[in-house]
């Protein structure tokens, strides 16, 4: 038998297998009473398989990716470029963005953000920061995943532009990467969304495969995913770019294609060269770049201390914690205070107050801290061991009210669930009791006073 015939048969086995696996429940009842179909000639099985196959075919048709139906946007020039034999050996499209992204203030905030989050010593030209996002043939990574479309947003003399590099077919990849290499050679900084884990390793792998030098070595890279999570995950949960775009930037996209369809649409495009299939992806990528730039500016503004007023208290609280971790104490305090004033959900409020009390303690404002702990302890339904301990320390060492410290130890031991932690409290109780006894010997009246 020749190879072609064998191959065809092979595929048949595979598809049948997959179809069956997908649509047949795993339980086999035929153990007890043999399934009729197994004892019948294969014809009935064939027909049921045929039905199955039709069903999977229909399923595939329903799930087939569709390009955005808004075909009017495809400029004639683009269509020409994509079909033309001459011109560049890949598609290079530049579109001016309608966004007012290039105010001097915004650029400054962005520079500040980079210094804060990435490199304190950064002295690059904020105008030479590029925003980068790729569209790929899959999410698995590895040498077989290709970045077929690379979008670069940057400032040009006349506003913000998005440049897109598209390989219209696989053999155009090298030329595309060389052009990108040139474009990125002058970048002073790079902004991405999840670029650290995804876009950059993937691109780097493509450069290795094309045996080209990687142009971004040593370039400062601001990946917005993690900062965004630090600020908004508590409230939004999902911190995908799309979700941030709609909830934080308040933008709704019209007729966008779902990201998961992109690989299939691209495969269709390389096979058919139908520009319709690619137009939706180009638009999607451009929007992503614009959103990326907007989000970066927005975060720049937040960390400049401006425009943080319209953050909801929960975000403010998260931002405050983040600022604290970054060493921006002033912002941290301001935002945390504002968050507490604005009102937080119970569990977060507890956490916020504890954090505030710790800060007060660090600043040696012991009485204020103790008031907060006292308040927490009284309003809490459950036993807060850490708060209790802070209070005990306060009474023992700061206020030197040993009777209260002793009472706190007793009450902790009475309420403690975890007996493993009890030893610590027993030690404290013994120590406080010893001190107290010594005090009484020295100043007998004191104990007496207290008891009355």
Partner 1 sequence: MQASLSPSIPRIVEELKLSRGLQSCITHVEHFPAQEARYAAFPGGLDPLVIEVFKKRGIGQLYTHQAEAIQQTLAGRNVVVVTPTASGKTLCYNIPVMNAVFASPDARALYLFPTKALAQDQMEELYQLIQLSGRDIKTFTYDGDTPQDSRRAIRAQGHVVVSNPDMLHAGILPHHTKWVQLFENLKYVVIDELHTYRGVFGSHLTNLLRRLKRICAFYGSKPQFVCCSATIANPKELATKLLEDDVELVDDNGAPRGEKYFVFYNPPVVNRQLGIRRSYVNETRSVALSFLKKGLQTLVFANSRLVTEILVTYLKDALEKNVLSRDLVRGYRGGYLPLERREVEKGLREGRILGVVATNALELGVDIGSLEVCVMAGYSGTIASTWQRAGRAGRRSGVSAAVLVASSAPLDQFIVEHPEYFFGQSPEHGLVNPDNLEILLNHVKCALFELPFSDGENFGTVETREMMKFLEENGFVHAAGGQWHWTSEAYPADAVSLRSVSSDNFVVLDVTAEPKIVSKVDFPSALTTVHEKAIYIHEGQQYFVEKLDYKERRAHVKRVDLDYFTDAISYTQVRILDTFDRQLLRSSTKQWGEIHLTTQVVGFKKIKFYTLENVGAGDLELPEQEMHTTSYWLTLPRSLMESLLYLPSIRLNGVRGLAEAMRQMAALFLMCDPRDLQVTIEENLVGETPGRAVSPAQKGRDLPRQIFEPNIFIYDNYPSGIGLSEPLFDLHDRVLQETARLIRSCPCQEGCPSCVGPQGETGDLGKRVALDILKAIL
The contact set with partner 1 (CB under 8 A) reads 1, 3-4, 6-13, 16-17, 20-21, 26, 28, 30-35, 38-39, 41-42, 45, 49, 137-144, 146, 169-171, 204-205, 208-209, 263-264, 267, 270-271
Nearer to partner 1, 32 or 441 (CB): 32
Nearer to partner 1, 263 or 313 (CB): 263
CB of 448 to partner 1, least distance (A): 50
CB of 298 to partner 1, least distance (A): 32
Nearer to partner 1, 5 or 362 (CB): 5
Nearer to partner 1, 266 or 395 (CB): 266
Q: Return the axis-axis angle of helices 275-303 and 76-83, rounded to nearest 10°.
A: 120
Q: Using CA atoms in the order 320, 323, 329, 334, what is the torsion angle rounded to 10 degrees?
A: -30
CB of 115 to partner 1, least distance (A): 27
CA nearest neighbour of 337 among 362, 323, 81: 323
Q: Are strands 159-166 and 91-96 parallel, antiparallel or unpaired?
A: antiparallel
Nearer to partner 1, 137 or 377 (CB): 137
CB of 275 to partner 1, least distance (A): 17
CA nearest neighbour of 37 among 56, 24, 19: 24
CB of 15 to partner 1, least distance (A): 9
CB of 124 to partner 1, least distance (A): 26
CB of 70 to partner 1, least distance (A): 25
Tell me whether residue 382 is exposed, middle or buried, using C-beta atoms within 10 angstroms of its C-beta: 0 to 12, 13 to 18, 19 or more.
exposed
Between CA 340 and CA 115 the distance in angstroms is 28
Nearer to partner 1, 206 or 361 (CB): 206
Nearer to partner 1, 4 or 414 (CB): 4
Q: Which residues pair with 131 in a beta bridge?
A: 153, 191
Count of CB atoms situated within 10 Å of the CB of 34: 10
Tell me whether residue 15 is exposed, middle or buried, using C-beta atoms within 10 angstroms of its C-beta: 0 to 12, 13 to 18, 19 or more.
middle
CB of 48 to partner 1, least distance (A): 10
CA angle 391, 395, 401 (to 5 degrees): 150
Query: In sequence order, what are the residues at sequence separation of 6 or more whose Cβ sits closer than 8 angstroms to the Cβ of residue 343?
Result: 313, 349
Structural contact between residues 219 and 196, judged by C-beta atoms closer than 8 angstroms: no
Nearer to partner 1, 106 or 205 (CB): 205
């Amino acid at each position: 038998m020749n190879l072609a015939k064998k191959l065809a048969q092979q595929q048949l086995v595979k598809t049948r297998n997959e179809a069956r696996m997908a649509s047949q429940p795993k339980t086999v009842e035929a153990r007890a009473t043999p399934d009729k179909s197994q004892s019948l000639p294969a014809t009935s099985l064939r027909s049921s398989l045929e039905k199955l196959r039709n069903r999977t075919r229909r399923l595939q048709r329903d799930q087939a990716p569709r390009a955005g139906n808004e075909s009017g946007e495809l400029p004639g020039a683009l269509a020409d470029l994509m079909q033309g034999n001459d011109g560049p050996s890949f598609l290079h499209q530049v579109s001016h963005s309608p966004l007012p992204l290039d105010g001097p203030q915004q650029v400054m905030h962005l520079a500040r953000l980079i210094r804060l989050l990435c490199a304190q010593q950064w002295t690059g030209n904020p105008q030479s920061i590029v925003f980068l996002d790729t569209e790929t043939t899959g999410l698995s990574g590895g040498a077989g995943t290709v970045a077929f479309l690379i979008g670069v947003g940057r400032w040009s003399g006349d506003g913000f532009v998005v440049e897109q590099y598209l390989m219209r077919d696989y053999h155009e990849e090298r030329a595309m990467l060389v052009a990108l290499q040139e474009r990125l050679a002058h970048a002073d900084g790079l902004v991405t969304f999840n670029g650290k884990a995804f876009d950059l390793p993937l691109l780097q792998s493509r450069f290795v495969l094309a045996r080209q030098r990687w142009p971004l070595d040593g370039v400062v890279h601001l990946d917005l995913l993690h900062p965004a999570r630090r600020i908004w995950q508590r409230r939004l949960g999902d911190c995908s770019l799309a979700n941030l775009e709609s909830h934080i930037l308040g933008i709704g996209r019209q007729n966008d294609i779902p990201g998961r369809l992109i690989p299939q649409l691209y495969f269709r495009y390389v096979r058919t060269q139908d520009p319709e299939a690619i137009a939706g992806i180009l638009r999607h990528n451009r929007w992503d770049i614009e959103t990326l730039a907007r989000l970066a500016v927005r975060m720049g503004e937040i960390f400049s201390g401006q425009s943080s007023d319209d953050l909801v208290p929960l975000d403010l609280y998260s931002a405050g914690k983040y600022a604290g971790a970054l060493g921006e104490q002033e912002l941290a305090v301001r935002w945390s205070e504002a968050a507490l004033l604005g009102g937080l959900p119970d569990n977060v409020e507890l956490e916020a107050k504890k954090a505030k009390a710790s800060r007060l303690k660090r600043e040696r404002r012991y009485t204020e801290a103790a008031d907060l702990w006292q308040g927490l302890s009284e309003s809490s339904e459950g036993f807060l061991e850490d708060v209790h301990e802070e209070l005990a320390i306060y009474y023992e060492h700061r206020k030197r009210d040993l009777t209260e410290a002793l009472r706190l130890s007793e009450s902790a031991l009475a309420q403690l669930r975890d007996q493993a932690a009890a030893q610590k409290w027993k030690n404290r109780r013994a120590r406080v009791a010893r001190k107290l006894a010594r005090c009484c010997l020295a100043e007998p009246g004191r104990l007496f006073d207290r008891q009355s």
